[in-house]
A and B are shown apart, each in its own frame.
Chain A
Amino acid sequence: MRKVAIIGIGHAKFGRRQDVNVCEIAFEAIKPALEDAGVSAKDIEYMPVGTIGMWYEEGLPAVVIADYCGLSGVGLARFEAACASGSAAFFSGYMAIASGMADLVLVVGVEKMREVDTPTAVELIGRAGSYLWEFENFGLTFPGYYALHATAHMAKFGTTEEDLALVAVKNHHYANMNPYAHLHEEITVEKALASPVVAWPLKLYDCCTICDGAAAVVLASEEKVKELGIDTPVWVAGLGFSSDSGNLTKRQSYVGLMATVWASQKAYKMAKVGPEDVDCATVHDCFTIAEIMAYEDLGFCKKGEGPKLIREEQTYVGGKIPVNMDGGLKAKGHPIGATGVSMMVELTRQLREEVEPRERQVPMKNYVALAHNVGGTGHYCYVTILRR
């Protein structure tokens, strides 16, 4: 296997973007990614695209995006792993280079979710699970899925609605400093607790936003890194993938996601690091309870101690393990296919120590960062470890 580096990053503004279609928003990420890498469209050999689609009009998004951005002719595929689609595309791009099949790959994550109304978007995400056994009769929604985990976690560990709100307060705080984030609004625990219930115990401020967005990264082989004279390549040090049952009834427990545990173990092993070596992480906080479970399942603390970590502000900059310095899915926004790639963009900025404003920059000790991207409620999981 060859070494693979991230050499270029690009990120569109996340939010309700009715000013652009899927190709136009992808361009906003692709152009800066190519410029950052110092390469042009004709140098790219393969472009995996992470996107679910359904909520926008195009049926073959990878094809029309490549055409719009002058990339027709490259190898193309669209990747679906629910909310981990971006990481699935990233994994494919990684493999293309690691295997020797390509030297320069452009990974794109994109979603346009606001071209349909909210009940339709809620339905399309809700059907992502086991349609016949969980949606047809029972109308489960994604907030509903994570709320099932929240009630189980609260019953077992005494986790409170205030603990959940603390995660939202942190992620809003950092999103407010991130120019690419959907929401720029500081909130308080009181405000979060007073917001309308979406799926009890989850309230509006416990939930990520349904939004539009795109992110892109350029991946290169070690040979290409040298040839291009890249000064701060960020290397893919470890990658782990996993999944769990489509039906929640087949899971052994609801207080965590086994897919996260399994994927992170693989990634840690490949990167030869442990959770204690990670300087900062982006974790899959589609709902506040998801961030708390991620702390535990990734090994940042013991099972059941996630609430303590946020109560002690250990996941802020300066804490034991800073998490979601970009505002997370919660407040940066969660344009589904874009999320996994957006995590790589943020971690690359962190590892290059170029984050602005500086309050968002994590002090680096080991120059190791971890991205945790879940599809569904642990239906899919990818954990990627980057190192400068």
Chain B
Amino acid sequence: MRAMAYDPASGVLRSRTLTLSYEIPVSKIARFWEALAEGKVLGTVCKKCGRKMFPPQAVCDKCHSTDIDWFEIKSVGEVVAFTHIVVRPASFQDQKVYTPAIAEFKEEGVRVLAWVAPEVPKRQIKVGMKVRVEPRIEDNRRTWVFVPAE
């Protein structure tokens, strides 16, 4: 039998349950998600003012132009910050410790946030580490990770 919502022992009343999942529109940047399946990580560039953007967006955040092109992030970048996340959120409970990092890609003029690939030994990861970014498919989700450049 289901427990009563009101629990006199703890002095709390358990509320009704709501499960939330959102349908996030990504059609304006569908090219980004398509390119991941082709092995490429893309950013956007404004054709009017030359502004480069990652994450990609369909409009220029500087001049508001909607004339946007795509470019591939394929050079060697450098890790500028990272962390190993041990205490994980509810929806990441099934993961092991993971390592988000920010890498700077000077050649393309953007910074990217991604996990350092889980197979990379944790001790190897440091600020200054040289990386490339590559697409992966994990749990039916298209994502991107950093792998050592050398």
A residues neighboring B (CB under 8 Å):
18-19, 57, 117-120, 122-123, 126, 130, 132-141, 143-144, 147-152, 154-155, 196-202, 247-251, 254
Given contacts A18-B11, A249-B54, contact A141 B85 (CB under 8 A): yes
Given contacts A249-B110, A254-B81, contact A198 B87 (CB under 8 A): yes
Please provide the 9 A-B residue pairs with the shortest distance between their CB atoms, ordered closest to farther: A147-B83, A123-B89, A155-B127, A119-B90, A139-B92, A148-B81, A200-B84, A249-B111, A137-B143
Chain B: minimal CB distance from A182 (Å): 18
Q: Name the B residues within 8 Å of A126 (CB-CB).
A: 89
Chain A: minimal CB distance from B87 (Å): 5
Chain B: minimal CB distance from A205 (Å): 13
Q: Is there contact, CB below 8 Å, between A141 and B89?
A: yes
A151 to B79, CA, bound (A): 10
**Would you call B1 an interface residue if the criterion is a C-beta within 8 Å of the partner chain's C-beta atoms?**
no
Chain B: minimal CB distance from A344 (Å): 31
Q: Name the A residues within 8 Å of B55 (CB-CB).
A: 130, 132-133, 247, 249
Q: Name the A residues within 8 Å of B15 (CB-CB).
A: 57
B residues neighboring A (CB under 8 Å):
10-12, 15, 24, 26, 54-55, 80-93, 95, 98, 100-102, 110-115, 126-128, 141, 143-144
Q: Is there contact, CB below 8 Å, between A197 and B86?
A: yes
Q: Name the B residues within 8 Å of A57 (CB-CB).
A: 15
Given contacts A119-B89, A148-B102, 13 further A-B contacts (CB under 8 A): A19-B11, A123-B89, A123-B91, A126-B89, A136-B24, A138-B100, A148-B82, A151-B83, A196-B86, A198-B86, A198-B87, A249-B55, A249-B110
Query: A202: nearest residue on chain B (CB-CB)?
Result: B83
- For the A-B complex, the count of residue pairs with Cβ-Cβ distances under 8 Å equals 117
Q: Is there contact, CB below 8 Å, between A139 and B88?
A: yes
Q: Is there contact, CB below 8 Å, between B113 and A141?
A: no
Q: Is there contact, CB below 8 Å, between A122 and B87?
A: yes
Query: B88: nearest residue on chain A (CB-CB)?
Result: A139
Given contacts A18-B10, A249-B102, contact A148 B83 (CB under 8 A): yes
A18 to B111, CA, bound (A): 43
Query: A140: nearest residue on chain B (CB-CB)?
Result: B100
Q: Name the A residues within 8 Å of B87 (CB-CB).
A: 118, 122, 141, 143, 198-199
Query: A249: nearest residue on chain B (CB-CB)?
Result: B111
Q: Name the A residues within 8 Å of B89 (CB-CB).
A: 119, 122-123, 126, 135, 139, 141
Q: Name the A residues within 8 Å of B86 (CB-CB).
A: 196-200
Chain B: minimal CB distance from A16 (Å): 12
Q: Name the A residues within 8 Å of B115 (CB-CB).
A: 137-138
Q: Is there contact, CB below 8 Å, between A247 and B113?
A: yes
12 A-B contacts (beta carbon < 8 Å): A119-B93, A122-B88, A138-B100, A138-B113, A141-B89, A151-B127, A152-B127, A155-B128, A201-B83, A249-B110, A249-B111, A249-B112
Q: Name the B residues within 8 Å of A134 (CB-CB).
A: 100, 113
A143 to B87, CA, bound (A): 9
Q: Which of A126, A148, A149, A151 has the most CB of B within 10 A?
A: A151
Chain A: minimal CB distance from B10 (Å): 7
Query: B61: nearest residue on chain A (CB-CB)?
Result: A250
Chain A: minimal CB distance from B147 (Å): 15
A123 to B84, CA, bound (A): 16
Query: A127: nearest residue on chain B (CB-CB)?
Result: B89
Query: A56: nearest residue on chain B (CB-CB)?
Result: B15
Chain A: minimal CB distance from B110 (Å): 7
Contact partner of A250 (CB less than 8 A), chosen from B81, B101, B111, is B111
Q: Is there contact, CB below 8 Å, between A144 and B102?
A: no
Q: Name the A residues within 8 Å of B141 (CB-CB).
A: 136-137
Q: Name the A residues within 8 Å of B102 (CB-CB).
A: 148, 248-249, 254
Query: A146: nearest residue on chain B (CB-CB)?
Result: B83
